Homo-oligomer: A and B are copies of this chain.
Amino acid sequence: MLHTYETDGAKIYKESFATIRSEADLARFNKDEESVVVRMIHAAGMVGLEEHVRFTPGMAEIARAALANGAPILCDAYMVSEGVTRPRMPADNEVICTLRDPKVPEMAKEMGNTRSAAAVELWRPKLEGALVAIGNAPTALFHLLNILQDPNCPRPAAIIGCPVGFVGAMESKDALMQDPPVPSMIVKGRLGGSAITVAAINALASWKE
C-alpha cells in the first residue's frame, strides 16, 4: 500500500512553524530575533535549541537592514552558501564562499592555519558592511576575530557565529560574545553547523514563512 503524507510544501511549513511556536520557549526574543530562532529550530529539528541562542542587542534588526540594503553574505563553507535560498534575498545579494579559491591551500600553509581560516583572508575586499555567516569552522571565526582587532580591517555589518563541534567551537563563540566587534549572534557550546546557519540567513533575508 502506498504511503500517504502531506505533499503541500506551504502546509508543511505552516504546520512545522506552528508546532515549533507551541513547544519552544521563545519569550525572551523580540520579533526580529524570534523569526530567526524559529527557523533555526526548524532546520535542526530540535526544540530546545533556543536555550543556546544569543544575540547582541539589535543584531537581528541590523543584519536584516544590511541585507535589505544589498549586503553580500560571506560564508565559511559551501554547505552554507549553497543552502541560502536565493529567491528570499531582498536585494539579489551576492553569496560568497572563498574556500575553493586556488590560492587558499598555499595561504593556509604560509599562515600555519586551516584552509577555512585562510579563506577568511580573501573576504577582505567584500567584508565592509557584509553579513558574515560562519557555520562550520571555529578557526574561521577565530581568524576573523583576530583580523578585526586591526582597526584598519573593514567591518562587517553583523556576524552569525555558528561553528560546530568539539575543538574550538565553544571557545570561538564565547570569544565573539565576550567582546563582539560588530553586532553578532551565536549558538552557544558545541551545537551549530551549516543548516542552522543557513536558517538564520534565510530568516534575516525575508519575513516569509
Contact = CB atoms under 8 A, between A and B. Distances in A.
Residue from A6, A78, A171 whose CB has the most chain B CB atoms within 10 Å? A6
A141 to B, nearest CB: 9
B20 A146 contact: no
Given A2-B146, A165-B45, A168-B5, A194 B191 contact: no
B83 A194 contact: yes
A149 interface: yes
Q: Assembly of this chain: how many copies?
A: 2
A169 B3 CA distance: 13
Classify the interface of chain A: helix, strand, loop or mixed: helix
Interface string A1-19: 0110111110010011001
Interface residues of A, number: 50
Contact of A198 (B79, B111, B191): B79
The 10 nearest A-B residue pairs measured at CB:
A45-B190, A16-B166, A45-B164, A82-B82, A7-B113, A79-B83, A78-B82, A19-B166, A193-B195, A5-B142
